[in-house]
């Protein structure tokens, strides 16, 4: 056990490539896809009975597949917030006293059990979020497990930072003062993890495993439209707890509906001391406003691209097109605003005008979307119809500025899939009503600025005031890139320079890349740094006369 944790922690310290679980489906069982699909299909129109929780008051479920556009018909046990809190408090009495070694062993076992279900979870993710199968497999499977292990190993290390006990001696001249001291990492209390609809496992497991490893019994409150993937994970975690002879209610699921939510009831309960949240800024601001809670948030942001120059503009346009099209822009790391000077950009073959840049980006997106081999698989499907309506509203407001309208993309396997390619809109920097706010989904604004320096200033302003999780910069000027790095880092925003080939700004690697910095309005926490786990427990020291 400790060898696995030490290897994971060493990867964090070195920031090198490390993957505890291969990301390719080919590395797993040859019949994994068929078995996973069969397992997913067997759950449709059934009660989900794999959770080990008692006290249910009924069954609820309202998930709809963005590919089939039909309800999944899966019902989950429903619990009152009072029942969830009471059972968590009871479990906390045991879990809080469980040693760090035993907690780590149980949670590692849980991850191994989840790995057996990667294909099942992939289909569940696909048909609740609209991600493609490959993204669903990677994001909800090995990548999510890696992020969970990353937090788990960091927490294990922090819990073992100090000795559990020590014989303390101070020479007082004619005698020694001798004390016996012990040190305890005391968990803060019940933890609540509020999931999102687009990445129901990848965004949930870091906080969940961080709280559990540090001794806090946890309640998972998934988004009502994306329950199944994380329900499968929680079921395996409860199985690991059961096998270890520990209360299965150390981790619970609290499923609700859009019309009758229980999130605020849980969040405001005095027993809940920790809250992890992923979602929109309005509710995130509410979570951050709660007193007596330690909260970790990932909220909305406006991610920028500063396009100053490129040796190979066609390659740059292709990279931006993929980054904007991946999962139809429904990623918190997707680029939204591409800032380009009115004078255009410099290239190895001369300059390109602003209009040429806009046309190049639009053509690259159109070519990808209409590619029969890449389009449907890259774009996936739209999770929520509100995203589709947002694209239409933005296009209507932009009018003639729409260079490339969003298009429905044909999916041969799922002809009823709800799809939309990115709309490309050319807009002047002065027209802030259009671009200077988050437009979640497949929308790209190419913002005309007065200069590259103006582009940098606007990108920094957006990150400072609106939040940003990522920033891209394309440039052939080393001095300019250094300024971009300094200015954007001052707004606590990381920068990806001149990405091309298989490198895309959307993707953050576990054990190496910090996800969100916690320094701007896009969120107040980062996984995984030491604060992400240390704020979940408190060191307390006791002294006795020897």
Residues in the chain predicted with pLDDT less than 50, given as ranges, are none
**Cα 35 versus chain centre, distance:** 27
Give the 3-state secondary structure of 44-75: CCCECCCCCCCCCCEEECCCECCCCCCECCCE
Query: pLDDT digit string (tens) for 30-54?
Result: 999 999 999 999 999 999 999 999 9
CA distances from 195 to 21, 143, 225, 271 (A): 23, 17, 10, 20
DSSP conformation letters of 460-521: HHHHHHT--S-EEEE-S-HHHHHHHHHHHHHTT---EES--TT--TT---TTTS-B--SSBT
Do residues 456 and 306 make contact, with C-beta atoms less than 8 angstroms apart?
Answer: yes
User: Which residues are bridge partners to 182 per DSSP?
Assistant: 165, 542
Report the alpha-carbon distance of residue 365 to residue 21 in Å, rounded.
Answer: 32
pLDDT of residue 482: 98
In the chain, ranges of CATH 3.40.605.10 domains? 2-162+188-299+525-536
Query: pLDDT digit string (tens) for 292-316?
Result: 999 999 998 999 999 999 999 999 9
Report the alpha-carbon distance of residue 382 to residue 388 in Å, rounded.
Answer: 7
Structure tokens belonging to residue 88: 């968590």
pLDDT of residue 1: 86
Query: pLDDT digit string (tens) for 369-422?
Result: 999 999 999 999 999 999 999 999 999 999 999 999 999 999 999 999 999 999
Work out the angle at residue 113's Cα, subtended by the Cα atoms of residues 111 and 116, and round it to the nearest 5 degrees: 110
Candidates 333, 330, 366, 302; CA nearest to 132 is 330
pLDDT of residue 298: 97
Candidates 293, 324, 258; CA nearest to 60 is 258
Q: Please tell me the CATH superfamily of domain 2-162+188-299+525-536, with its number.
A: Aldehyde Dehydrogenase; Chain A, domain 1 (3.40.605.10)
Q: Phi and psi for 193 in degrees, rounded to 5?
A: -115, 120
pLDDT of residue 500: 94
- Residue corresponding to tokens 């292990």: 149
pLDDT of residue 286: 97
Do residues 219 and 190 make contact, with C-beta atoms less than 8 angstroms apart?
Answer: yes
Structure tokens belonging to residue 249: 């209610």
Radius of gyration, alpha carbons of the chain:
25
Work out the angle at residue 141's Cα, subtended by the Cα atoms of residues 19 and 14, and round it to the nearest 5 degrees: 20
pLDDT of residue 458: 98
Say whether 545 sits in a helix, a strand or coil. Answer: strand
- Residue corresponding to tokens 């449907």: 376
The structure's pTM equals 0.96
User: Which residues are bridge partners to 252 per DSSP?
Assistant: 219
Say whether 425 sits in a helix, a strand or coil. Answer: strand
pLDDT of residue 409: 94
In the chain, ranges of CATH 3.40.309.10 domains? 304-497
Report the alpha-carbon distance of residue 41 to residue 21 in Å, rounded.
Answer: 25
Neighbours of 22 (CB within 10 A): 14
Task: Tell me the CATH architecture of domain 304-497.
Answer: 3-Layer(aba) Sandwich (3.40)
DSSP β-ladder status, 423-428 and 402-404? antiparallel
pLDDT of residue 349: 86
Candidates 208, 296, 222; CA nearest to 254 is 222
């Amino acid at each position: 056990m400790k060898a696995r944790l030490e290897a994971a922690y060493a990867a964090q310290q070195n920031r090198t490539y490390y993957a505890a679980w291969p990301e390719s489906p080919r590395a797993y069982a040859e019949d994994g896809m068929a078995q996973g699909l069969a397992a997913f299909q067997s759950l449709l129109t059934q009660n989900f009975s794999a959770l080990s929780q008692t006290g249910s008051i009924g069954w609820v479920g309202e998930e709809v597949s963005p590919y089939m556009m039909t309800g999944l018909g899966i019902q989950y046990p429903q619990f009152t917030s009072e029942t969830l809190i009471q059972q968590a408090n009871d479990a906390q009495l045991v879990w809080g006293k469980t040693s760090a070694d035993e907690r780590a062993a149980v949670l590692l076992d849980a991850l191994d059990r989840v790995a057996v279900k990667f294909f099942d979870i992939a289909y569940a993710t696909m048909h609740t979020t609209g991600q493609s199968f490959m993204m669903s497999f990677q994001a909800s499977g090995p990548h999510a497990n890696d992020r969970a292990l990353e937090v788990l190993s960091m927490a294990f290390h922090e819990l073992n930072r100090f000795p559990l006990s020590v014989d303390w001696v101070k020479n007082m001249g004619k005698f020694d003062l001798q004390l016996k001291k012990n040190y305890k990492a005391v968990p803060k209390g019940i933890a609540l993890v509020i999931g999102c609809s687009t990445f129901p496992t990848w965004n949930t497991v870091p906080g969940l495993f961080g709280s559990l490893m540090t001794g806090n019994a946890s309640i998972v409150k998934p988004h009502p439209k994306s329950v199944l993937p994380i329900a499968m994970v929680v079921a395996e975690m409860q199985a690991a707890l059961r096998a270890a002879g520990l209360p299965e209610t150390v981790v619970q699921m609290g499923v609700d509906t859009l019309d009758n939510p229980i999130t605020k009831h849980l969040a405001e309960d005095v027993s809940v001391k920790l809250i992890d949240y992923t979602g929109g800024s309005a509710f995130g601001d509410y979570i951050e406003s709660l007193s007596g809670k330690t909260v970790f948030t990932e909220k909305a942001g406006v991610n920028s691209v500063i396009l100053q120059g490129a040796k190979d503009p066609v390659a740059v346009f292709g990279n931006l097109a993929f980054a904007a099209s991946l999962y139809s822009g429904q990623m918190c790391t997707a680029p939204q605003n591409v800032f380009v000077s009115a004078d255009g950009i410099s290239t190895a073959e001369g300059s390109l005008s602003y209009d040429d840049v806009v046309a190049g980006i639009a053509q690259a997106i159109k070519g990808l979307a209409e590619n029969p081999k890449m389009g449907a698989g890259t774009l996936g499907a739209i999770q929520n119809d509100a995203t589709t309506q947002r694209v239409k509203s933005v296009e209507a407001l932009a009018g003639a500025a729409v260079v490339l309208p969003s298009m429905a993309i044909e999916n041969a396997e799922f002809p009823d899939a709800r799809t939309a390619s990115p709309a490309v809109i050319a807009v002047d920097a002065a027209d802030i009503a259009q671009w200077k706010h988050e437009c979640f989904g497949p929308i790209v604004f190419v913002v005309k600025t007065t200069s590259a320096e103006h582009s940098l200033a606007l990108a920094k302003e957006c990150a400072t005031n609106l939040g940003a999780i990522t920033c891209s910069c394309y440039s052939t000027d080393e001095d300019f890139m250094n300024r971009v790095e300094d200015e954007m880092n001052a707004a606590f925003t990381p920068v990806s320079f001149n990405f091309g080939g298989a490198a895309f700004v959307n993707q953050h690697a576990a054990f190496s890349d910090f996800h969100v910095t916690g320094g701007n309005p896009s969120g107040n926490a980062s996984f995984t740094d030491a604060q992400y786990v240390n704020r979940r427990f408190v060191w307390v020291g006791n002294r006795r006369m020897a």
